[in-house]
Each structure stands twice: as structure tokens, then as C-alpha cells.
């Protein structure tokens, strides 16, 4: 689900990291990045700008090692040059392969986070760095599975909502992470039950036994409710946000697993199904619009 260059990775790195990713991948000018007013350039600052431009050129040509070296040189020459730090972090992030366990790959992820944190040391409200850390930590948390890293990633998306409360994407990612954690726990509870009760098979579509339901509700009920509220906020800000609707459907299925009343359970399952129908309608409408001359 989280393969490198997959739609999920693209939406995180090249959409959530909106400013930096767009500059690299869409050819936008550096003017889209935070503008730093410099009264007069020193020779070191001039060399730093030159190294930055060389790095951008190398990155666009897929020459990542050359790009990283150039961005690092720009950073060393002018430590306050935020663009150099942002580009350096994004160059590391672009090479990180989700799920690859090699130490070299993990080091790329750590370096990306470190460089984004360096940006926040200078500009604590820099959304490119905030989103970048959230994106990389999300990918690093998936394999090997690390719930603490997921929670840390979520905290950065929540920080984005505090700075720009009308951006729908960070609310979406909070919901995605809450679902990821609650789904994994649900799956593990069912697997443990099936292993410990020979002759019985608890299917994914069946309600949890009462004692497991109570345990699940206590541990993940608040997280599920948080995810639902966050996804609803994303949809309120972007009414045809079909990806958010798909995850809201998934969260309602997790909500169905924490209620004791069968009628309530069926109600949440119906709500989940209704949102899937809405997703299908939105996708169909978009397909029809694209097919029109």
C-alpha cells in the first residue's frame, strides 16, 4: 500500500510538501518558496545561491548525489538560507524507499527529518518543513510498524492545522493515521482470538467478542472518534474530497466495532457503505467530465 512513488507517497511528498515538492517536480520558480530579503549579498551568500541553483538543476535531472552535495554546500556557505535546507531535506526524502529495511535507506529518512527540523529551528511555522516531517515519519512508521512514529507524524499534521486551519490535507492525514493505528490493532485482536480459540474463526466482518470489544473501545475509541472528526473537517473544507470520504468509510467500520448495540453497529456500517457510494459517484462524475471534448 505504501510503495515508493505510489499514490500515497506522491500525495504526501509531492502534495503535502506543497511548496518544495512543486518547485522540484513542476518546475515552479524558487519565488514560490519563502522569500528572504537580503540587503546585500556577501561573496559566501552569492556562492550559496549559485550552489543552490546547481542543486536544483541536478535534482531535476535525477542526479541526487550531486544535488545533495550542492544543497549541502549552499547550506554550509549560508546557514540561514532556508531554501537550501528545504531542498536538501526534500532530496533525501525523494530517495527514501518506504518499507526498505536497509540501514542506508533508514539513514536517508533520518537525514530528511533532521534537515526539515533544521528549517523549523529557524522558522518554527514553516509548513513545508512541518509537512515534510509528517510525510517522512508516516512512511518510516509503516515498516517496521512503529505506532509511536505514526503518532509523531500525526502531531506534525496537527501542527499544520493550528497554523493553517483551513487547509484540508492535514486533517485528512490525521484521519488516515488514526485509521491505520486502529485498523492494525483490530486486526491483531482478531488474529490473537483465532489463534487462541481452535475451532472458532472470527471473520473481519463479525463483531468482536464482548471482552475484546471493551478492550478495543478503551484503547482506540478516542482515536477513532478523533479520526472521524478530523476527516469530517477535511470534507467540510473540500466537499468532494473522495479520498477523505473513503477513509471516513473505513473509520466508520472501526466505529462499528466499538459499539455494543447491534442496531448501532448496523447504522455505522450503513454509513460506511453510503460514503463508498458517494466516492463512486464522484469518481464517475470526474471520469465523465474528462471524457467530454
Please report where in the chains the cell 492525514 appears, as a residue: 173
**Are 119 and 29 part of one and the same domain?**
yes
- What mean pLDDT comes out for the span 189-212? 93
Domain-embedded: residue 185: yes
Please report where in the chains the cell 537525514 appears, as a residue: 111
**CA separation for the pair 120, 138 (Å, rounded):** 18
Residue bearing the bigger pLDDT, 101 or 38: 101
Task: State the pLDDT at residue 199.
Answer: 83
- What mean pLDDT comes out for the span 122-139? 97
Task: State the pLDDT at residue 17.
Answer: 33
**CA separation for the pair 245, 267 (Å, rounded):** 17
Domain-embedded: residue 162: no
Task: State the pLDDT at residue 240.
Answer: 94
Domain-embedded: residue 39: yes
**Are 19 and 131 part of one and the same domain?**
yes
Domain-embedded: residue 291: no
**Is residue 25 exposed (0-12), middle (13-18) or buried (19+ Cβ within 10 Å)?**
middle
The DSSP symbol for 6 reads S
**Are 71 and 147 part of one and the same domain?**
yes
- Residue 204: CB atoms within 10 A of its CB come to 9
CA dist list (Å): 167 to 135, 157, 161, 236: 16, 10, 7, 11
Q: Last residue of a domain, which of 91, 122, 151?
A: 151
**Are 22 and 144 part of one and the same domain?**
yes
Question: How do residues 107-118 score in pLDDT, each as one tens digit?
Answer: 999 999 999 999
pLDDT at 22 over 70: no
Task: State the pLDDT at residue 40.
Answer: 67
**CA separation for the pair 133, 155 (Å, rounded):** 10
- What mean pLDDT comes out for the span 221-240? 98
**Are 128 and 178 part of one and the same domain?**
no
**CA separation for the pair 250, 286 (Å, rounded):** 22
Domain-embedded: residue 184: yes
Question: How do residues 206-227 score in pLDDT, each as one tens digit?
Answer: 999 999 999 999 999 999 999 9
The DSSP symbol for 35 reads P
pLDDT at 34 over 60: no
Percent of the chain predicted with pLDDT > 90: 79
- Of the listed ranges 41-50, 77-86, 145-154, the least confidently predicted one is 41-50
**CA separation for the pair 249, 244 (Å, rounded):** 9
Domain-embedded: residue 292: no
pLDDT at 20 over 80: no
**Are 75 and 184 part of one and the same domain?**
no
Q: Last residue of a domain, which of 121, 151, 181?
A: 151
**Are 123 and 212 part of one and the same domain?**
no
pLDDT at 29 over 60: no
**Are 127 and 17 part of one and the same domain?**
yes
Q: What's the residue count for the chain?
A: 293
Domain count, the chain: 2
Q: Where are the alpha helices (DSSP H) in the chain?
A: 7-11, 18-26, 43-60, 64-77, 82-95, 103-122, 127-142, 147-163, 168-196, 210-237, 242-256, 262-291
**Are 83 and 126 part of one and the same domain?**
yes
pLDDT at 10 over 60: no
- CATH number at 99 reads 1.25.40.10
Domain-embedded: residue 160: no
pLDDT at 101 over 90: no
pLDDT at 82 over 50: yes
- What mean pLDDT comes out for the span 78-88? 94
**Are 141 and 11 part of one and the same domain?**
yes
pLDDT at 12 over 90: no
Domain with 194 in it: 172-282
Task: State the pLDDT at residue 279.
Answer: 96
pLDDT at 30 over 70: no
Q: Last residue of a domain, which of 98, 122, 151?
A: 151
Domain-embedded: residue 249: yes
- What's the mean per-residue pLDDT of the chain? 87
Closest CA to 253 of 266, 235, 272: 272
Closest CA to 166 of 110, 127, 193, 197: 127
SS (H, E, C) 209-278: CHHHHHHHHHHHHHHHHHHHHHHHHHHHHCCCCHHHHHHHHHHHHHHHCCCCCHHHHHHHHHHHHHHHHH
**Are 270 and 178 part of one and the same domain?**
yes
Closest CA to 70 of 80, 85, 82: 85
pLDDT at 58 over 70: yes
Task: State the pLDDT at residue 289.
Answer: 87
Q: Would you state the cell numbers that stand for residue 6, as one nine-digit string? A: 505510489
**CA separation for the pair 155, 160 (Å, rounded):** 9
**Are 141 and 193 part of one and the same domain?**
no
Task: State the pLDDT at residue 54.
Answer: 95
Amino acid at each position: 500500500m505504501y510503495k515508493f512513488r505510489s499514490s500515497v507517497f506522491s500525495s504526501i511528498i509531492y502534495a503535502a510538501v506543497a511548496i518544495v515538492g512543486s518547485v522540484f517536480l513542476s518546475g515552479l520558480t524558487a519565488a514560490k518558496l519563502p522569500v528572504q530579503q537580503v540587503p546585500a549579498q556577501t561573496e559566501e551568500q552569492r556562492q550559496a545561491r549559485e550552489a543552490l541553483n546547481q542543486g536544483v538543476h541536478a535534482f531535476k535531472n535525477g542526479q541526487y548525489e550531486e544535488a545533495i552535495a550542492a544543497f549541502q554546500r549552499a547550506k554550509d556557505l549560508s546557514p540561514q538560507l532556508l531554501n537550501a535546507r528545504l531542498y536538501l531535506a526534500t532530496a533525501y526524502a525523494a530517495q527514501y524507499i518506504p518499507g526498505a529495511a536497509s540501514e542506508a535507506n533508514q539513514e536517508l529518512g533520518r537525514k530528511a527529518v533532521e534537515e526539515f527540523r533544521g528549517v523549523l529551528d529557524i522558522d518554527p511555522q514553516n509548513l513545508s518543513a512541518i509537512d515534510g516531517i509528517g510525510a517522512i515519519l508516516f512512511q518510516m512508521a509503516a515498516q517496521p510498524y512503529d505506532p509511536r512514529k505514526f503518532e509523531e507524524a500525526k502531531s506534525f499534521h496537527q501542527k499544520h492545522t493550528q497554523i493553517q486551519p483551513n487547509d484540508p490535507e492535514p486533517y485528512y492525514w490525521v484521519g488516515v493515521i488514526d485509521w491505520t493505528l486502529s485498523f492494525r490493532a483490530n486486526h491483531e485482536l482478531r488474529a490473537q482470538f483465532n489463534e487462541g480459540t481452535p475451532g472458532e474463526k472470527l471473520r473481519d466482518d463479525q463483531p468482536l467478542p464482548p471482552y475484546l470489544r471493551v478492550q478495543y473501545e478503551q484503547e482506540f475509541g478516542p482515536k477513532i472518534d478523533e479520526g472521524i472528526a478530523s476527516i469530517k473537517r477535511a470534507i467540510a473544507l473540500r466537499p468532494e474530497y473522495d479520498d477523505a470520504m473513503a477513509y471516513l468509510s473505513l473509520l466508520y467500520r472501526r466505529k462499528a466495532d466499538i459499539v455494543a448495540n447491534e442496531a448501532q453497529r448496523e447504522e455505522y456500517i450503513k454509513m460506511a457503505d453510503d460514503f463508498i457510494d458517494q466516492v463512486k459517484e464522484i469518481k464517475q462524475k470526474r471520469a465523465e467530465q474528462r471524457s467530454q471534448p
